[in-house]
Structure 1
């Protein structure tokens, strides 16, 4: 029998009012069920929100260091469970063991970081224009927040939303993605053991329509933070905005890496390979467009094809280079884009098919794909694929490469590989992306600096992580005091 996970509401593990459940399968072995979860109803959402609202005033009035102690202990408990949590993440989402271990460690680090930041929360003092007066600001929690998180980073993203929300004195209701909710349950087990007061953080699993929408539109929710696709994020933002909730959405990407003639080809291929095929391309910051100067285009394509064909594919617990897609629908979507790219006239240089062999028959595996002869207006160059598919686009010079990089509706992460300092600086200044990197892969984020996108990659309101991660979850009150 698979493990049955319950909702976490008001400090208790409870079954859904609906009485229904859903199963989550191992992407490497879909016949194996890794967990059974509550298929919750709007009534379950209401109960979780009621608990959060009831706990909010007391938690807000809890001194910051005490809140920080709970966060610190949560991170410590997760660290004690790191090995088992890593294996659980691999079985649920499909990441390789190394990728999963890195993600679990990131969640640990996030809780440690915001535990410390909870000690520093405060306002600023300004000089008043008159005598015998004080003029200062104070930061106050937003209230009760709804956190809607994706399946591709099922413990890191809940951590980087929940930790700053709690540090700032908010209460929360978390809705994890149905494809991989188990890691959020593990995180809540740690929060519970760490002594989090009842009702401060709650978790409700289920579909977007039954849980996500009621959470976003509820009158008692003061803010909504979402990570996921642009289509769903736009809907969440519109729903939340109906009653002027504060909203933060981080969404899709179609991230370019520009490769210039001064680049070392081997280094550029490594940067693109890791950025495009790491986490099976299932990252909003994954590199999906290589924009390569014409002088080195053919050489780059040959080297990129060699890299892709050498990528070891397998079950995540064996720690290969690349694991399976998270689900059958994600695999089918990638295969459809590979077929579409060929129909559009691009050349499929390698990959894009189900690998052969008995060990691949059941899992949601695909070979990493490299396309050449790609025009930037093709769908494979414009739409987020969310799979290990790299389009190599030829550019005549730096200006052409920059124009191609910006000619897309997304603006999340972008990088350039060059030894020319002028090109690097021009790229950083002019690229339309929230994250700009030089001689780095588009993936990979530091937790103490802001993260967010431009254009359709974000609602362009509040950034996540670092000090900026606290801005969304706090309101500023300005105080004038005449003594």
Structure 2
């Protein structure tokens, strides 16, 4: 045991350009969800004292960083992107070890993160105000877009580098400084991102990195007087708590849960519809806020679809994400495993029929991991808990309907509104779907999951604060404020 302990690397916080231990001197370890006997790393168990130090460093650094030319800021992001790509294979393996997703998915996520850095490096050069007409010929009226100040970035474990990048990159390129706290399940890949920015010569204090539990770090992350904006992705409950805590003058961006439907019409290509359901519902072990958790299907094609969905689901290989041929990795932690198994039991108790999956795997190579087989329920009523509540795991509820309007009503009859998809070729239905579905993102003959880094991302209803969008050019608006100038000539 002693030899194993000494082999575990300890990673530090980054505050004011220095790698430092937590003020408490305490650490915590993270485990591989595919094999909990594999310790990924040891990280700082930060407290409010560490966060306050990070806030003060960020506040001081903002005074100079805001005036750094945009081309210099862009140069740093480009360099960080190159560093991420140079370490691609190592970082992808580390991501899989701490989160569980397949190494192919991890590799794509790291690549995408480098692309996102480059995208915002370029877009940052186009941030500008506007010139306005004036009734007074001696007054020049125009606007400037200026940075806010210190941004608090709080991110989840399911996309532990791509979500931080799409928050941090636009924040930095517009002249803000950052205090970044990643999820405690996946701090290593977040560390690698900060390390790349640090090695790219980002000035001291411009990004500050603290790890630890939300209960011990959360209050100053959202209430410190230096914080000008909070961007958070995570559970709806946690988001609501943040929204109540922030000061009136603090800008907030919250991306929360989803209960995303895939509507399959009777003219759909059923094989394609099955592929969309499997990709949206089971890829990433169902741990995506845009994951397909409901399939709402016309009665005429229900039986054929279910038969093919069950067959396809049975073919999926569950296993360690680092192993070849694996389609579905473990759940990210024990809490996730318990939650998914609880919802499987709830679905059965509510009267839905479990036609495949939903079983914990514990034998052989599965003995030390958080494995569950992808599950499909049929006979699901729209008001059942498994059809209303976010499960965040590989569980699909199939709901049979007799009309397009019934499908639309059921799709909208949840508290969430993140992503929705329809499988059809009928243009009238497509337009009705686009105009009447209550979600922030709409997919036509595409899975509910996946978004382009140059397109806005976000939801409506309880999926988001719906104030500012992430991703794309629209993301820059959250990190800038408008100053109106009346310049007398």
Q: Does the Cα contact within 8 Å between 2:11 and 2:44 map onto a contact in 1?
A: yes
Question: What secondary structure does 2:105 align onto?
Answer: helix
Structure 1 residue 397, shift from structure 2 partner:
0.7
The one of 250, 260, 269 equivalent to 1:255 is: 260
The whole-number CA distance in structure 1 between the counterparts of 2:127 and 2:182 is: 28
- Counterpart in 2 of 1:280? 285
Instruction: Determine which of 467, 470, 473 is the counterpart of 2:476.
Output: 470
SS for the counterpart of 2:463 is coil
1:201-212 equivalence runs, <5 A: 201-212=207-218
Contact 1:250/1:457 (CA < 8 Å) preserved in 2?
yes
Q: How does 1:66-465 map to 2 (within 5 A)?
A: 66-240=72-246, 242-319=247-324, 320-355=326-361, 357-465=363-471
* TM superposition shift of 1:132: 2.7
- Shift, 1:129, TM fit: 2.2
Residue 224 of structure 1 aligns to a residue in which SS?
A: strand
In 2: Cα distance, 1:367 partner to 1:224 partner: 37
Could you tell me how far apart the structure 2 residues matched to 1:467 and 1:414 are? 22
Which sections of structure 2, spanning at least 5 residues, go unmatched? 1-6
Structure 2 residue matching 1:376: 3-state secondary structure: coil
Match of 2:26 among 14, 20, 24: 20
Distance in 1 (CA, whole Å) between partners of 2:288 and 2:108 is 14
- Secondary structure of 1:160's aligned partner: helix
Contact 2:321 2:328 in 1 (8 A): yes
* TM-score normalised according to structure 1 size: 0.99
* Matched position secondary structure for 2:11: coil
C-alpha contact 2:362 2:371 (8 A) present in aligned 1? no
The CA distance in 2 between the partners of 1:156 and 1:68, in whole Å, is 18
CA contact under 8 A between 1:175 and 1:212: conserved in structure 2?
no
What is the Cα deviation at residue 356 of structure 1?
A: 5.7
Distance 1:145 1:173 in 2: 6
Map Cα deviations across residues 71-108 of structure 1 (whole Å, 9 max, x no partner). 11011110101110000000010010111011111110
Confirm or deny: 8 A CA contact 1:64 1:121 kept in the other structure: no
8 Å Cα contact 1:447-1:466 kept in structure 2: yes
Deviations 1:129-148 (A, max 9, x none): 22132121110001101000
Partner Cα distance (1:285, 1:70) in 2: 31
5+ residue gaps, structure 1, are none
TM-score, structure 2 as length reference = 0.98
Rounded to whole Å, the distance in 1 between the matches of 2:288 and 2:27 is 28
Do the aligned partners of 1:219 and 1:243 also contact (CA within 8 Å) in 2?
Answer: no
- How many pairs align? 482
Specify the SS of the correspondent of 1:472: helix
- Whether contact under 8 Å (2:44, 2:211) holds in the other structure is yes
